[in-house]
Amino acid sequence: MDKKKAQVFEGLLSIILNAVLFGVKFWVGMITGSIALVADAWHTLSDSLTSIFVVFSAKLASKKPDKEHPFGHGRWELIAAMIIAFILAFIGYDFLTGSIERFRHGENVIFGNLAIAVTAASIVIKELLAQYAFYLGRKTKNPVVTADGWHHRSDSLSSVVVLIGIVIARFATELWWMDSVLGMFCALAIFFAAYKIMRDSITKILGQEPEQDLVLRIIDEIKSVYEHDLRIHHIHLHDYISQRELTLHIKLDKHMTIDEGHDIATIIENMIKDSFDMSTTIHVEPLD
């Protein structure tokens, strides 16, 4: 499955399952009178709304390069990941303030077996969705799908807190505060996920040095087509997600003709394109 198909499939699967979970959670929350379950249901629905954006961004990112965007539209994936990170941060804030409010008012609700069953099922389903999104994100190197996985994880954590609160409320009424404290810890976990997604996306947009392992592999491949030491330096990678642009400098004998230097640079550029799927621009310098 390629990157676009993986993103669309994960997004559509998330929309369907989250819509079903929302309906069930909301129904149980209403018949039990549980504010926590109703709030958790709306949290689940927010996943569906985010996944709609995941699908939409896949369409935008897959557009071919045009006159206004010669490097393609792949960075829509990074923009989408940043928006998801912002949504996660908002959910974490709402989660944190809600937990503090429950602690201040000492809220405690007695739940039945139905609430426990629905909440437990939600945890399993949401964690499976998170693991699947993480898997697709790793395989396709897609930051949007990975970010959506963290959104699923945040919903799973939310449901874990609700479930623990339900169990505590039924069997240990003197520990009514445990639900609120766990909620605060989960909120911090959500904040950390949002920070990590935002940091990684911003780093890629600003540009970063290529990994040392990639640099060594490129140099080894160049040596396989040109045996002389080219004094390769100033290697920079520009990641546009849908395509990657590499620039580097090489040093050649200053007595070479322009045609000879151009031929060597072209051979290296074609090799990098075939081996690493990157477009390369090479600056030639005279070897002193």
Residue 131, pLDDT score: 92
Tell me which DSSP letter residue 173 carries. G
Domain ranges within the chain, ordered by starting residue: 3-206, 212-287
Task: List the one residue out of 272, 279, 267 whose CA is nearest residue 218.
Answer: 272
- Does the domain formed by 3-206 have CATH 1.20.1510.10? yes
Using alpha carbons, select from 164, 154, 184 the residue that is nearest to residue 116: 164
The string of pLDDT tens digits covering residues 90-118 is 877 887 887 788 778 766 555 567 778 88
Domains 3-206 and 212-287 share a fold: no
**CA angle, corner 21, sides to 11 and 17, nearest 5?**
25
pLDDT reported for residue 259: 92
Residues contacting 108, CB < 8 A, separation 6+: 169, 173, 176
- Higher-confidence residue: 249 or 177? 249
For residue 233, give the H/E element and its range: strand 233-239
Q: Is the pTM of this model over 0.75?
A: no
| Structure confidence by residue, pLDDT tens digits, 161-173 | 778 777 776 777 6
CATH annotation of 212-287: 3.30.70.1350
CB atoms within 10 A of CB 25: 27
Q: What secondary structure letter does DSSP report for 177?
A: T
196 confidence band (pLDDT: 50, 70, 90) = confident
Report CA dihedral (162, 167, 172, 178) to the nearest 10 degrees.
Answer: -20
pLDDT score recorded for residue 262: 92
Sign of CA dihedral 136, 142, 145, 151: positive
pLDDT band at 139 (very low <50, low <70, confident <90, very high): confident
Mean model confidence pLDDT for the chain: 80
- DSSP H helix total and E strand total for the chain: 8, 3
- What is the per-residue burial (b if ≥16 Cβ within 10 Å, else e) of 222-256? beeeeeeebebeebebbbbbbebebebebbbeeee
Per DSSP, the three-state class of 288 is coil
For residue 179, what is the enclosing H or E element?
Answer: helix 178-206
